[in-house]
Amino acid sequence: MATTTASESSAAPALKVAILGFGTVGSAVARILCDLPAGAPIRLSHVFNRNVERKRVDWAPADVCWSSEFDSVLSSDADIIVELIGGMAPAHDYVTRALSAGKSVVTANKKLIAAHGPQLSELARKNGAALCFGASVAGGVPVIDALQDGLAGDRLYRVSGILNGTCNYILTKLESEGVTFAEALTGAQAAGFAEADPTDDVDGFDARAKLVILTRIGLKAIVPPEEVPCTSIRGVQAVDFLYAHELGATIRQISRSERKQSEVFASVQPALVPIESPMAHITGSLNLVLSSGRYGGQTAFSGHGAGGHSTAVAVVSDVVAIARGRAKAQAPHANAVSLPVSGNFESKHYIRFTVNDRPGIVAAIANVLATHSINIDALLQKPGFDREALPFVVTLEACPSALLEAAMADLRKLDFMVQPPVTMPILTKEL
Amino acid sequence: MATTTASESSAAPALKVAILGFGTVGSAVARILCDLPAGAPIRLSHVFNRNVERKRVDWAPADVCWSSEFDSVLSSDADIIVELIGGMAPAHDYVTRALSAGKSVVTANKKLIAAHGPQLSELARKNGAALCFGASVAGGVPVIDALQDGLAGDRLYRVSGILNGTCNYILTKLESEGVTFAEALTGAQAAGFAEADPTDDVDGFDARAKLVILTRIGLKAIVPPEEVPCTSIRGVQAVDFLYAHELGATIRQISRSERKQSEVFASVQPALVPIESPMAHITGSLNLVLSSGRYGGQTAFSGHGAGGHSTAVAVVSDVVAIARGRAKAQAPHANAVSLPVSGNFESKHYIRFTVNDRPGIVAAIANVLATHSINIDALLQKPGFDREALPFVVTLEACPSALLEAAMADLRKLDFMVQPPVTMPILTKEL
């Protein structure tokens, strides 16, 4: 077995690592730390959790301090605080106090970093501490490092990806098994890929937090998370995959952002992607990040985005970066500037209507679209569906999504609709 | 357009960068450096090339010093030497002297790093300089950083990939156009994807140097390049793709290495890979690197492996790392140990025989394989070929490749062979 570089021998005493939150990821981090060979430059010193007694494990060294008092961890000699509690409170408070006390922080908390990353980075800098959050996006895929350092010589103008494994799992189930959204969701919950309340995942908020972080690191643009439009995948049905396949495409939840001059386009939404694109090859709960640079073209990163072990690898890699003295040189938000954001990408679109069939429907739809100066590209109708709830698809030539949204407001009012129409952009392979 | 982080403002004066070798990559590096905004922490100061006068460009600042004398660059105030000459001499001498003089070095020279990386890293450390070689493997794909830092928290046991764009270009042409190897090679040369002398690429030596570097950084194992077995792709024919497709696979030049306890398995060879694997999705001149870790599972990195711009991005990213003070913290060969290496992987195999058909051929082949205790899995024969040069395929159950090699020595002697048999491992999706 290869020896991790975390074990590189060092004359300095090992840095002491405190873990806040001893759930799946926390215990996986502790496992890796406890598996390190003697002489490693980092070691587990503290575990903090509410009611910590029920969390104790027999495989941790006897000198690890188990605590339910954050203040006692804060006042201890721990050098690095690993925050794995998640969410805003009390994580925000704990991270703020740790950095203020000059302790370095490693976190997997995408929500916290998306909302407060720049301020927390600045707080770290002022206090001579490091703040690392490689685990906050795409779990075990080291994409933050790659955008920050590995592609520092390029000028990135676009980042995109499949950032939520739950959505990808559900969508690939709809595709491969033809089940309903509700069935796919229940399956994902049973398989441990979705929470009891799936809102954050399926409605795009989880992916949005990650996209905001990637936008900041890759495109050097700070955008408020709440201003990035999210479209839920709840409207997508198995029939959409039939039509997508006919168009040489499949459907994925795509997060993307693009920097132009002084504005950013960003969105999280289900979209048609060409069957030969890297996006289409990502199945199950895998994650993918694509970056496009002015000089180097497109680079792709993929792997396990979630799960205790993958996320733990990212956390420990950040701890190692701090121990190696590399993390403070990173300045993760250096030079990022606040920019206005909208979801108004220009692209081709797919609309699936479900109608109570009668003569004149296509004419009515075409008229509305013409009024908004939107051109129809093609009309697809698969046989074998009930005339009272007939799904058919219109594809549109490229237009800004805001223009389509205005047209959709009119289309939704037409009296033959038996379900709200579903719109998705049709992306190109380059995305 | 996003502002590269190379532009982060800094009170310190910009580090001076000297480029050795002003070919495609060198001029692309110079372009990026010259495009940086005022206040960037790095700037182009010297260009060295033989007969440098014919290389002068009008877009470089007037204060850049153009020189054909390495000694004058070495004794100048340049802080960072970017070595883009390639090959062993004089690059090895120049890099050694630059590091000895305390100047940091960035190189894209895979041959040099594969052969002398550990010694040069140690020389850099002793002299307080940095040695960076992110551009030596997979061009613009930041995989060295990722294995070194981003996955530092894992214990990697396998790295593999498609590391030579020329071979991938040729093989995908054989597959998509059914041309001969000679035709595909001529096409690759005309398209600028292959050298006039293609030996380094098609016979595997280029990929081998990269694999040796990945093995050192990812698996912490130092193996001598010349001991890693290479099999040329010259034997692969369009008919092999027909048979591979029948087996649910395609053919790629695969470089792979795996660390077990105290030995390393490594090889560069054409191989069958399942059509649904990440390897199969890599077409044209793209590169792919896969890493497998004990904790985080498989991670994939892909993008443009060669070409002036992609490689230049990797070079400038390394220069930025040095300017940020991050590079010296890397210790790229720390903890790597010298280990014995062989190509004796165990796997299923594919053999394509081309025979002058007559009764008893299958029996003769089966007898030889049985003598060597190798089990036949299946026999495939496509119709429509000439009986005097009949290609057919035998697939074998898993066995160590050394066992197959012994059997092949006997099989090659059989008098009905009209071409040497072609053997390839049949890899699994996990590779």
Burial class (CB in 10 A: 0-12, 13-18, 19+), A362: middle
The verdict on A28 touching B (C-beta cutoff 8 Å) is yes
Where in chain A are all domains bearing CATH 3.40.50.720?
Answer: 5-136
What pLDDT does residue A17 have? 98
- Residue indicated by tokens 């979209």: A271
In this complex, do A313 and B326 lie within 8 Å of one another by their Cβ atoms? no
In this complex, do A152 and B320 lie within 8 Å of one another by their Cβ atoms? yes
Q: How far is B382 from chain A (nearest CA, A)?
A: 28
In this complex, do A7 and B278 lie within 8 Å of one another by their Cβ atoms? no
- How does residue A10 score in pLDDT terms, banded at 50, 70 and 90? very low
Summarize the confidence of residues B208-231 as an average pLDDT. Answer: 97
The verdict on B215 touching A (C-beta cutoff 8 Å) is no
Interface test with A, best of B151, B222, B289 (most A CBs within 10 A): B151
Measured CA distances, B159 to B255, B277, B311 (Å): 8, 15, 21
What pLDDT does residue B429 have? 83
What residues of A are annotated to the active site?
A: 210
- How does residue A268 score in pLDDT terms, banded at 50, 70 and 90? very high
Contacts of B278 in chain A (CB under 8 A): 281, 302
- To the nearest 10 degrees (0 to 180), the angle between helices A308-323 and A24-35 is 50
What pLDDT does residue A38 have? 83
The verdict on A19 touching B (C-beta cutoff 8 Å) is no
Share above pLDDT 70 across residues of chain A, in percent, rounded to a whole number: 96
Contacts of A161 in chain B (CB under 8 A): none
Q: pLDDT per residue over B126-177, tens digit each?
A: 999 999 999 999 988 999 989 988 888 999 999 999 999 999 999 999 999 9
- Any idea which architecture B143-303 has in CATH? 2-Layer Sandwich (3.30)
- How does residue B431 score in pLDDT terms, banded at 50, 70 and 90? confident
What pLDDT does residue A150 have? 86
What pLDDT does residue A332 have? 65
Choose, from B110, B210, B260, B429, the residue flagged as catalytic: B210
In this complex, do A304 and B299 lie within 8 Å of one another by their Cβ atoms? yes
Residue A304 in tokens: 């396990």
The residue count for chain B: 431
Give A 33-52 residues with CB within 8 A of chain B.
none
The verdict on B156 touching A (C-beta cutoff 8 Å) is yes
In this complex, do A1 and B220 lie within 8 Å of one another by their Cβ atoms? no
CA dihedral for B10, B14, B20, B26, sign (positive or negative): positive
Where in chain B are all domains bearing CATH 3.30.360.10?
Answer: 143-303
- Residue indicated by tokens 């739809």: A365
- How does residue A307 score in pLDDT terms, banded at 50, 70 and 90? confident
Contacts of B36 in chain A (CB under 8 A): none
In this complex, do A298 and B300 lie within 8 Å of one another by their Cβ atoms? no
The verdict on A156 touching B (C-beta cutoff 8 Å) is yes
Asked whether residue A141 carries a pLDDT value surpassing 70, the answer given is yes
What pLDDT does residue B331 have? 64
Calpha distance B77→A310 (Å, rounded): 45
Summarize the confidence of residues B225-247 as an average pLDDT. Answer: 97
Asked whether residue A168 carries a pLDDT value surpassing 80, the answer given is yes
Summarize the confidence of residues B202-220 as an average pLDDT. Answer: 97
Calpha distance B182→B300 (Å, rounded): 32
Contacts of B146 in chain A (CB under 8 A): 142, 145-146, 150, 301
* DSSP assignment string, A194-225: S-SS-HHHHTSHHHHHHHHHHHHHHH-EE--G
Give B 190-209 residues with CB within 8 A of chain A.
none
Q: pLDDT per residue over A20-62, tens digit each?
A: 999 999 999 999 999 998 888 999 999 999 999 999 999 999 9
Q: pLDDT per residue over B102-127, tens digit each?
A: 999 999 999 999 999 999 999 999 99
Asked whether residue A9 carries a pLDDT value surpassing 60, the answer given is no
The verdict on A278 touching B (C-beta cutoff 8 Å) is yes
What pLDDT does residue A1 have? 35
Contacts of A294 in chain B (CB under 8 A): 1
> Residue A220 is nearest to which of B2, B281, B295, comparing CB atoms?
B2
CATH top-level class for A143-303+331-342? alpha beta
User: Nearest-CA residue of chain A relative to B135?
Assistant: A150
Give B 230-269 residues with CB within 8 A of chain A.
259, 261
Asked whether residue B183 carries a pLDDT value surpassing 60, the answer given is yes
What pLDDT does residue B285 have? 83
Cis-peptide into B118, omega within 30 deg: no
Interface test with A, best of B292, B295, B309, B337 (most A CBs within 10 A): B295
- How does residue B415 score in pLDDT terms, banded at 50, 70 and 90? very high
Calpha distance B124→A366 (Å, rounded): 69
User: Nearest-CA residue of chain A relative to B307?
Assistant: A296
Output the average pLDDT for chain B: 93
> Residue A296 is nearest to which of B298, B309, B321, comparing CB atoms?
B309
* DSSP assignment string, A19-57: EE--SHHHHHHHHHHHHSPTT-SEEEEEEE-TTGGGG--
Contacts of A144 in chain B (CB under 8 A): 150
Asked whether residue A392 carries a pLDDT value surpassing 50, the answer given is yes
* DSSP assignment string, A256-314: EEEEETTEEEEEEEEEEEETTSHHHH--TTEEEEEEEETTTEEEEEEEE-SSHHHHHHH
Q: pLDDT per residue over B372-406, tens digit each?
A: 999 999 999 999 999 999 999 999 999 999 999 99
CA dihedral for A360, A361, A363, A367, sign (positive or negative): positive
Q: How far is B1 from chain A (nearest CA, A)?
A: 5
CB A88 within 8 A of CB A115: yes
User: Nearest-CA residue of chain B relative to A296?
Assistant: B310
Q: How far is A181 from chain B (nearest CA, A)?
A: 26
Contacts of A30 in chain B (CB under 8 A): none
What pLDDT does residue B23 have? 94
Interface test with A, best of B136, B257, B326 (most A CBs within 10 A): B326
| Of B394, B358, B365, B384, residue with least CA distance to B243 | B394
Summarize the confidence of residues A74-91 as an average pLDDT. Answer: 97
Asked whether residue B414 carries a pLDDT value surpassing 50, the answer given is yes
In this complex, do A309 and B326 lie within 8 Å of one another by their Cβ atoms? no
Contacts of A329 in chain B (CB under 8 A): 324-326, 329
Contacts of B2 in chain A (CB under 8 A): 155-157, 218-221, 259
Calpha distance A312→A44 (Å, rounded): 14
CATH top-level class for A346-426? alpha beta
The residue count for chain A: 431
The verdict on B429 touching A (C-beta cutoff 8 Å) is no
Calpha distance B160→B288 (Å, rounded): 8
What pLDDT does residue B11 have? 57
The verdict on A100 touching B (C-beta cutoff 8 Å) is no
Q: How far is B248 from chain A (nearest CA, A)?
A: 16
Contacts of B310 in chain A (CB under 8 A): 295-297
Q: pLDDT per residue over A231-254, tens digit each?
A: 999 999 999 999 999 999 999 999
Contacts of B145 in chain A (CB under 8 A): 142, 145-146, 149-150
Q: pLDDT per residue over B33-76, tens digit each?
A: 999 988 889 999 999 999 999 999 999 999 999 999 999 999 99
Where in chain B are all domains bearing CATH 3.30.70.260?
Answer: 346-426
What pLDDT does residue A367 have? 97
In this complex, do B8 and A156 lie within 8 Å of one another by their Cβ atoms? no
Q: How far is B205 from chain A (nearest CA, A)?
A: 25
The verdict on A300 touching B (C-beta cutoff 8 Å) is yes
Q: Are strands B417-426 and A337-338 parallel, antiparallel or unpaired?
A: unpaired
Give B 327-346 residues with CB within 8 A of chain A.
329-331, 334-335
Share above pLDDT 90 across residues of chain B, in percent, rounded to a whole number: 84
Q: pLDDT per residue over B303-351, tens digit each?
A: 987 778 999 999 999 999 999 887 775 566 677 999 999 999 999 999 9
What pLDDT does residue B169 have? 93
Asked whether residue A114 carries a pLDDT value surpassing 80, the answer given is yes
What pLDDT does residue B330 have? 58
Q: How far is A245 from chain B (nearest CA, A)?
A: 17
What is the fold of B5-136? Rossmann fold (3.40.50)
Out of A133-137, A257-261, B330-334, least confident range: B330-334
Instruction: Please state the ipTM of this predicted complex.
Output: 0.88
For chains A and B, CB pairs below 8 A equal 237
